[in-house]
Structure 1
């Protein structure tokens, strides 16, 4: 029993010695190539990242390009190392291709987000700090990733939009500002020019209202009970509702002080009396 175990151990040690004798140079060469390849991959990846940053390429795109170059070099080094051991890489490549196809079909939606994110970073339809509106969602761009884009609202909410829902859709970019559109009605007996001047003066009192482009004020339409004065102005998106409420309150207060009537809806009702009914004729029968 002991002799059989010793024989097995001797056979195993012989195989190990033969392996190192026959493949020692290949193993050492593969290890050296792997170490040098990893060093070169890291150096080239960092160099690519610095070149992209020097040319003001987007941060996310720069990191993506640097990581892709590093991964490609490591893949080539691994293929060379496997070739040192006499291992054919063709079956591995075929297997990787089949697995990649299966994963690609399963993660098609995820990959479409990455493709859309790459398009956004490359074409730059908007950047961080812009105000965008897409698919009934509006906010200030806080972060652009390959898979998604994050927006923030005045209420402090964070909106995450998958990039595939941005690319190919109607996109409105108003940069760092948003437009406020409002109107107020005055009576037909009031002077519209005076009302327009009051609104313009009140808008000029607010430093947060953007001066260029200048606010737009004028008669929008003629209603049943009032002349509607519309006004449009730009404000920083982060202060949209706050400034709008303050402007409306100031205009209303000034209208009351200047005795400009803001009419409420009126309807004129005319009641007509029905004509008096004529007495019905009665038929009187007389005996013959």
Structure 2
């Protein structure tokens, strides 16, 4: 029993000695980390206010703000570890070895991050642009470090990993799209009148942009009709609605003005046996 009590006394003495030696340092380290958290928030806010003077995409601003926060907090974390007497060089070497292992295990994720940085800083497209890439197309809703999100007119979304975007052929329509419509009229119709009516329809539609000007003209002389191309520009969100409205308006206008649409015809010859 005496030996047990003696062991307990030794443990208690060691604990008290450790608390007296490292307790104040631990408290100071916690205070340093708390101050680092507040300083990191301040650094992020200050960086964000500073970046508002420049024309940067929201993902770029968010990334730079996050980097400023991490750097500021990392500085205070180093100060806290130095206060505790931690040797930084062996720790850095160990983190380097661990980082190499993590990099090998997360090659795909790191590839997305690297590609995301390329997209954010080279800016091949912006939020709100309509792009076509990797057999997918849609309006850019979000650009992050890991992926890019496209939106479709049916409210669905497509999330594309950034490494599937960098290095691919990209078709960027910007924030406007051109409608590719056509209508066929009979050869005995008044072509000039038809073109004038189509121009009036396009001017009356509020979704049709007047700059750049719509392109309307005869695009093909087919066997059974004259094909008129109708190519106005509209904003990306108005694409589907404008497509339906213009088709309906052209049809009703042609009917009201007796512009005859082309009717497919087929000649059948009956041969006697």
Q: Which of the two has higher C-alpha Rg?
A: 1
| 8 Å CA contact 1:176, 1:237 repeated in 2 | yes
Shift of 1:237: 2.2
Provide the secondary structure at the position in 1 that maps to 2:179.
strand
Partner of residue 130, structure 2: 131
Shift of 1:231: 1.3
CA RMSD of aligned residues (A): 3.0
- Does 223-232 or 144-153 show the bigger shift? 144-153
Per-residue Cα deviation, 1:150-196 (whole angstroms, up to 9, x for no partner): 23232222332222233322333333322111112222232322222
Query: Is residue 61 of structure 1 aligned with residue 56 of structure 2?
Result: no
Return the alpha-carbon distance in structure 1 between the equivalents of residues 94 and 227 of structure 2.
71
Per-residue Cα deviation, 1:83-109 (whole angstroms, up to 9, x for no partner): 455543333223222221222222222
Partner of residue 175, structure 1: 174
Instruction: Mark the runs of 5 or more structure 2 residues left unpaired by the alignment.
Output: none
Partner of residue 113, structure 2: 114
Partner of residue 6, structure 2: 7
Query: What is the TM-score when the length of structure 1 is the normalising length?
Result: 0.79
Partner of residue 142, structure 2: 143
Gap change, CA 1:155 and 1:36, over 3 Å in 2: closer
Per-residue Cα deviation, 1:229-248 (whole angstroms, up to 9, x for no partner): 11101122222222212211
Provide the secondary structure at the position in 2 that maps to 1:160.
strand
Partner of residue 50, structure 1: 49
Provide the secondary structure at the position in 1 that maps to 2:52.
helix
Shift of 1:216: 0.8
Partner of residue 190, structure 1: 189
Return the alpha-carbon distance in structure 2 between the equivalents of residues 40 and 254 of structure 1.
66
Partner of residue 155, structure 2: 156
- Does 121-130 or 265-274 show the bigger shift? 265-274
Shift of 1:51: 2.3
Return the alpha-carbon distance in structure 1 between the equivalents of residues 62 and 102 of structure 2.
24
| 8 Å CA contact 2:126, 2:140 repeated in 1 | yes
* Aligned residue-pair number: 273
Return the alpha-carbon distance in structure 1 between the equivalents of residues 201 and 37 of structure 2.
66
Query: What is the TM-score when the length of structure 2 is the normalising length?
Result: 0.83
| 8 Å CA contact 1:130, 1:176 repeated in 2 | yes
| 8 Å CA contact 1:53, 1:59 repeated in 2 | no
Provide the secondary structure at the position in 1 that maps to 2:131.
strand
Instruction: Mark the runs of 5 or more structure 1 residues left unpaired by the alignment.
Output: 275-288
| 8 Å CA contact 1:154, 1:239 repeated in 2 | no
Provide the secondary structure at the position in 2 that maps to 1:174.
strand
Return the alpha-carbon distance in structure 2 between the equivalents of residues 201 and 36 of structure 1.
67
Partner of residue 209, structure 1: 208
Return the alpha-carbon distance in structure 2 between the equivalents of residues 17 and 69 of structure 1.
40
Shift of 1:128: 2.6
Provide the secondary structure at the position in 2 that maps to 1:133.
strand
Provide the secondary structure at the position in 2 that maps to 1:229.
strand
| 8 Å CA contact 2:57, 2:126 repeated in 1 | no
Return the alpha-carbon distance in structure 1 between the equivalents of residues 258 and 60 of structure 2.
60
Return the alpha-carbon distance in structure 1 between the equivalents of residues 196 and 69 of structure 2.
64
Return the alpha-carbon distance in structure 2 between the equivalents of residues 176 and 36 of structure 1.
44
| 8 Å CA contact 1:46, 1:66 repeated in 2 | yes
Per-residue Cα deviation, 1:138-160 (whole angstroms, up to 9, x for no partner): 33332222222223232222332
